[in-house]
Amino acid sequence: MNILEHPEIIRLHEAISARSTQVHSDSAMRRAAVAVTFRAGANGEPELLFIKRAEYPGDPWSGQIAFPGGRREAHDITLEETAIRETREETGLDIAASGRIIGALDEVQPQSVRLPELVVAPFVAVVGEVAPFALAGEVSSAFWVPLQSLHAGDSWRDTEVSGRGYRMTKRAFHHDGHVIWGLTERIIAQLLSLLKG
């Protein structure tokens, strides 16, 4: 099945197209972008791409589950280009060659003063045939999660997590031993809200 023909992807595309994206106006803030990428799984159902960041001392997101992405570089004309470039560099998946961006979600910022001042622009992408991953050193693994799993209420719960040496309780999504929280959880929440209408 063409992923763009799946009812949930049609609904998501329509919902994104019908709204104005919230963009932060502070031009002095550092900018980054991520790709929220869907493919059709073996049974034709949508799956969403996640990465696990490698563990590095001093990296505020060390070892966390995230969407592929990173900071805008001087040669990126748009943040959409940033999301595509970073996804290709981190995973080997070339959205421009095997799919396309279908829209943007609201920009998000870290909620903790202990994290860098950064604005993250999430772009929703769809891809067709996907080659095996070619992971960069900053990524320890990449995996696909069925969209249906994100809808499962028992996968979501308040969880004690650790960031930059601090322990806290956050709403998190649990899948196959992975715990997804923070900025990534907030982006997922946007997706689910749009799908629920």
- Taking only the tens of pLDDT, the chain with its 197 residues reads 589 999 999 999 999 999 888 776 666 678 999 999 999 998 999 999 999 999 866 666 578 899 999 999 999 999 999 999 999 999 999 999 999 999 999 999 876 555 567 899 999 999 998 889 999 999 999 999 999 999 988 888 888 887 666 787 888 899 998 899 889 999 999 999 999 97
Distance between CA 39 and CA 8 in Å, rounded?
A: 12
pLDDT at position 57, please? 67
Rounded (10°) CA dihedral 141, 142, 144, 149: 50
What pLDDT does residue 160 have? 86
How far apart are alpha carbons 148 and 174 in whole angstroms? 13
SS3 label, residue 79: helix
The torsion angles phi and psi of 147, rounded to 5 degrees, stand at -60, -35
Contacting residues for 172 by C-beta, under 8 A, at least 6 apart:
156, 157, 158, 159, 161, 179, 180, 181, 185
Reported pTM: 0.91
Tell me what pLDDT residue 170 has.
84
Domains plus CATH for the chain? Answer: 3-152+180-196 (3.90.79.10)
Q: What is the pLDDT of residue 9?
A: 96
3-state secondary structure of 143: strand
Query: What does the pLDDT read at residue 162?
Result: 72
Predicted local confidence at residue 59, as pLDDT: 63
- The pLDDT of residue 115 is 58
Say what the pLDDT of residue 182 is. Answer: 87
Please tell me the predicted confidence (pLDDT) of residue 62. 72
Q: What is the pLDDT of residue 58?
A: 63
Output the pLDDT for position 161: 81
**Pairing label, strands 65-66, 156-163:** unpaired
Burial of 13 (0-12, 13-18, 19+ CB in 10 A): middle
